[in-house]
Amino acid sequence: MSVLWICTSCGKSQPAFTEKDCIMDPQDREIAEQFFSQTAGLRGLSTGELVVKAGKFLLGTPYVGQTLEVSDSEKLVINLRELDCTTFAENCLALARTLRMKKPEFDDFARQLQFIRYRDGIRNGYPSRLHYFSDWIYDNNRKKTVKDMSQEIAHTLIPNLVNFMTTHKKNYPALTNNPDFMSTMAGLEAEISGRMTWFIPKNNLPEFEDKLNDGDILGITTDIEGLDISHVVVALRIDGRIRFIHASSTERKVVISDEPLFDYLSRSKMSSGIMVARPL
């Protein structure tokens, strides 16, 4: 069972997390510190390569959805014991960025995770979390944690009209219980929908597959009305083909895909392509 735990500061110029800010279990600290210990000699690898190392380290971790929806207030949830597709990618990126520090510590990881997960890196209530992956890429591109590669690779715009959260508010208790959040989210959805957003159409993926790197964070775009993506994965090249590591709801754990990404997308009628975020 998760408990409130103190995330203390390890940087003199940064404010400390307190037990009011953070929800975690002591095991989460142990898992992160074990990763840092086992990979200490790999600090010189690129961030993308370290994202793959983190993904492989987390193989077998149980898939559990809605792990961030555990508090009426928006606390930083750190859970390396249970992952969904988005929290898997976020944690891999946070672990990788922390490992590249001179002396990586758990509190650095907590700060990286918050910086990645929230708009402008600031946790300020439920709407400040980057709920839509196209917004996640946009914001993290601005923060220089990733580079949005979709335009550079394929030069193809996607009609990105998002409104799923406000049109399905019963699926989101925070919206149901806080009417003020509805208007804020509607405004954010309008802002996201008004941006130019690029992707790689799935039928064009064979043409561009060689431009994907290990560790690229891929959002699988969808034709579901009001949504931008249906799944998030980490790219991994095996035998010359792009496969991926992901928290699989079907296999109920973190796994490496048995098939190439193109085959996976081709089997899915609702998948339209991918957005590409390259770790920096």
**Do 152 and 265 fall within a single domain?**
yes
Split at pLDDT 50, 70, 90, the class of 16 is: low
- Is 145 in the same domain as 273? yes
Residue 139 sits in the same domain as residue 269: yes
Of 93, 128, 163, the residue that ends a domain is: 128
The string of pLDDT tens digits covering residues 89-124 is: 999 999 999 999 999 999 999 999 999 999 999 999
Per DSSP, which regions of the chain are E strands?
A: 3-4, 22-24, 76-77, 146-148, 200-201, 217-222, 229-238, 241-248, 253-256, 271-279
Same domain for 38 and 111, yes or no, is yes
- Which amino acid type is present at position 246? H
Q: Which of 128, 161, 191 is the last residue of a domain?
A: 128
20, pLDDT greater than 90: no
Residue 157 belongs to domain spanning: 133-279
pLDDT at residue 173 above 50? yes
Cα–Cα distance for residue pair 171/20, rounded to 1 Å = 26
Same domain assignment for residues 204 and 78: no
Task: Grade residue 5 by pLDDT with cuts at 50, 70 and 90.
Answer: very low
Look at residues 63, 93, 128 and tell me which one is the last residue of a structural domain.
Answer: 128
Is residue 20 located within the same domain as residue 140?
no
Q: Quote the DSSP letter at residue 14.
A: S
140 and 63 share one domain: no
Q: Mark whether 165 and 246 lie in a shared domain.
A: yes
**96: domain CATH number?**
1.10.3670.10
Pair (234, 197) in one structural domain? yes
User: How many domains in the chain?
Assistant: 2
Tell me the DSSP string of 151-186. HHHH--B----B-HHHHTGGG-HHHHH-HHHHHHHH
138 and 270 together in one domain: yes
- Mean pLDDT of all residues in 141-160: 98
**CATH number of the domain to which 138 belongs:** 2.30.260.10
Q: Taking a C-beta distance cutoff of 8 angstroms, is the pair 240, 158 a contact?
A: no
Task: Say if residue 138 is in the same domain as residue 250.
Answer: yes
Mean pLDDT of 2-30: 63
Q: Are residues 201 and 124 in the same domain?
A: no
